[in-house]
Amino acid sequence: MMMIPRIQFKRCLALALSEDEITSVLAKELRLDGQARGLWRSLTGDLPTCPLEELNPNSVTSRSIRNEEFEKWAALQWHGLGIRCFKADKISNSWLKNPWKKGLSEAEFTLALKARTRTFPSASHRTGCSLPRCRLCHNGPESLGHLTCACAALKAMRLERHNAICRLLLRVASSLGWTCRSEPKLAHMVDIAVCLESEESTLLDMEFFKRAKYLPFTSVAKDLDPSIRCVQVWGFPMGARGKWHKPNTNFLRKLGVPECKLEEKAKQFSMLALYGTLRTCKTFNRLVTGKTAAEDSSSSAGDGPGTPSKPIPFAWYLLNFGHHLPSCELWPGHVRGWCKASTPGHKVRVHPPSPFHPLGSPLVPAGPWMIITPLELWPGHVRGWCRAPTPGFKVRACPQAGPPPVQTFGSPVTSGLGRNTPWEL
């Protein structure tokens, strides 16, 4: 659309500056010089400050205008903070072109844009400063950096994001023949960190910090396994808004990832970090405003039910392995939402998965069911399928097995839940 004013400007400028006498007279009669100035303003946003003879029409291109607008964005004190590191980064920006192919719903895509532009509705964003205290932990300013990387009340969400990246890295290394363990008994010691990209050097500084932190452990690793001759220490920082740290590619290349798959793997890590941040932001919204996950994803495709009328504020009914409660079954699918409870009037939402059975993993050969805990009961009038936090899977409540539980599945939240049932208020 910008090409039409640009072509008109070049034509008017050529006619206004023509050396032909007749053309020059007609241009003055038609006031083409004024039209050229107006078209220049529509292209650049400002009137020309020099004569028309000195204007260069080739300087007005789509790329130059994009660069100029990007510099204006990056110069903003609040919304442009740390945005330069995303410029011309195809891996970190891969979800912008086709978000649905990356498993993002419309609501999640909007939330991702708010996180990228630092317009997420927090207290600091509304006031334009960092003075308001966090409404969850009351220990720091309620900013995007605090919520995604430091808030004590959202620590479980950050750990899940961190562990999801660890699991993906382990799968990549294991598929290439490496023996991977969670403790530093490796020839390659790598520590993962997810931090907010507040400056261009944030991830680089974190990489150096992680390497310096684990360099003293190289001798310990050699003592644990005499066969280890050389230990290399790696920092593996990821941006909370999906920024891919380019030196991380060297570690993947060191593991033996083929060159043709390096970009694909990098995009997976980038999306995993971004998706974990989106879950953290949605959890913050739900805890602060009472907004449910179903509201955040009401526009998602699939057969997930709608929003409950009024959720129980800050009261979670968590079901443990200690109780004989209904199992949940994983099926391949493309919906992520709420689950139907066996009792009408309630529905179930899956919380962070069990370490024994990661959410989204295939069915175990031992049986058709997988226990996914904890579960959350909310009042409502919808019964249906549940969305798993992992894209590509949905969860269905299965018939109850074993002796009757302490609490009937689907009953309201009460205090007599058993000694091992945790509460969060």
**DSSP, residue by residue, 27-65:** HHHTTHHHHHHHHHHHHHSS--SS-GGG--GGG--HHHH
Residue 378's H or E segment, with its range, is strand 375-379
Relative to beta strand 393-397, strand 328-332 is antiparallel
Question: Highest-confidence range of 39-53, 173-187, 236-250, 314-328, by mean pLDDT?
Answer: 236-250
pLDDT of amino acid 338: 42
Name the band, by pLDDT with cuts 50, 70 and 90, for residue 181.
low
How far from the centroid of its chain's Cα atoms is residue 240's Cα? 7
- Is pLDDT larger for residue 283 or for residue 362? 283
Name the band, by pLDDT with cuts 50, 70 and 90, for residue 58.
low
Which backbone phi and psi does 328 adopt, to 5 degrees? -125, 145
Residue 60 scores a pLDDT above 80: no
Q: Are 304 and 337 in contact (CB under 8 A)?
A: yes
pLDDT of amino acid 339: 45
pLDDT, tens digit, 9 for 90 and up, residues 215-272: 888 888 777 777 777 888 899 999 999 999 999 999 998 888 888 889 999 999 999 9
Name the band, by pLDDT with cuts 50, 70 and 90, for residue 209.
very high
Strands in 328-332's sheet, in edge-to-edge order, are: 328-332, 393-397, 386-387
Residue type, 111: L
The alpha helices in 93-244, defined as continuous H runs, are 94-97, 106-116, 123-127, 144-149, 155-175, 202-214, 218-224
pLDDT of amino acid 356: 41
Radius of gyration of the chain (CA): 28
- Diameter over CA atoms, the chain: 101
